Amino acid sequence: MNQKNWTIGVDLGGTKVEAAAVDASGSILKKIRRPTAVAGGPEAVAREIVEMVSDLQGAGPGQALRGVGVGVAGQIEATTGVVRFAPNLKWRDVPFREQLGQILKLPVALTNDVRAATWGEWLHGAGQGCDDLICLFVGTGIGGGVVSGGRMLSGCSNTAGELGHTTVALDGPVCTCGRRGCLEALAGGWAIARQARNAIQADPAGGRGILQAAAELKQRSATPEDVTAQAVARAAQSGDPLAGRLVEEAARALVAGCASLVNAFNPCRLILGGGVIEGLPELVERIARGVAQEGLQAATESLQVLPARLHGEAGVIGAAALARLTVSGEP
């Protein structure tokens, strides 16, 4: 293990903060977690991160900590490190990189949480050694990151990679973004759960298998409101026909969306992660076959479709890697 140049990566979400000491090979030396001090505003969250950094200092291998990287679920201004908007934290225009840097007296790198996870998979996960890749994270929502020609794409206002909000069904179901038929509105975790609840209400007998799976997860009796994508996945895996149909609908949307992304970006690797993929790992193979069939031959002949490797740790590992790169003058 290369323990020089160790850094700390922070994954800052609306409910929890995770922070890890990570060495230059992407290995986690120690990881800690806390509930996010949302109510206290940016100052409280900054203090919380400072305490966590201090906790992790001991985990480092003797050498001084080089820097801290933070992935935030929100829109970040690249040059200033201002959090433009982070709905889960209820922040608007918070100069968080500066605030945190002043207290820590260390270099701080700030990026979007999904971008951080893409950095993680690229440098230390399923994307290692690859110059052209897409990471698509299918969780409650769907987001991603794109590396092209050896560089992470950031776009005009640093929001490149909103891959969940690509229309795959013009007249499809309404998305949280207001449009119809976004990939996320067909295959995101919240959308799978919504489709399941609607189907159960329309046909309570057919929905029994999914409700039972929801009850097993909750360890109590379940109503349609308790149904999650995880319950649908569980029911599908035990052969429930309705759950199987719902998963197949989501898979069909994912194939169309992934083939579109592959045609547009022409990556060497398409890396699939997030809760929905982890709950239904067979989707990776299903999407690989579908994209090979539906994508343009020129775009798919050199494509590999792979599962993400870092799972829940991609965010902290990626944020730490970004801090390391920032300290050494890249990217």
Residues that bind its own copies (CB under 8 A): 75, 84-85, 132, 146, 148-149, 151, 153-163, 165-172, 177-179, 181, 252-253, 256-257, 259-261, 263-268, 294, 296, 298-299, 301-303
Cβ closest to its own copies, residue 22 vs residue 182: 182
Residue (221 or 302) nearer to its own copies, CB: 302
Find the shortest distance in angstroms from Cβ 146 to its own copies.
Answer: 8
Alpha-carbon dihedral 167, 171, 174, 177, rounded to 10 degrees:
30
Q: What are phi and psi of 249, to 5 degrees?
A: -65, -45
Q: Are strands 16-22 and 75-76 parallel, antiparallel or unpaired?
A: unpaired
Put the strands of the sheet holding 83-86 in their side by side order.
75-76, 83-86, 91-94
CB of 164 to its own copies, least distance (A): 8
Q: Distance between CA 103 and CA 21 in Å, rounded?
A: 19
| Residue closer to its own copies, measured from CB, 65 or 303 | 303
DSSP assignment of 187-252 equals: HSHHHHHHHHHHHHHH-TTTTHHHHHHHHHHHTS---GGG--HHHHHHHHHTT-HHHHHHHHHHHH
Sole residue written with tokens 């965010």: 315
Least distance to its own copies from the beta carbon of 202, Å? Answer: 20
Q: Which is nearer to its own copies, 19 or 251 (CB)?
A: 251
Q: How far is the CB of 175 from its own copies (least distance, A)?
A: 10
User: Toward its own copies, which CB reaches closer, 107 or 172?
Assistant: 172
CB of 157 to its own copies, least distance (A): 5
CB of 151 vs its own copies, minimal distance in Å: 6
* Residue 52 or 89 having the CB closest to its own copies: 89
Contact in structure between 108 and 70 (CB atoms under 8 Å)? yes
SS3 290: helix
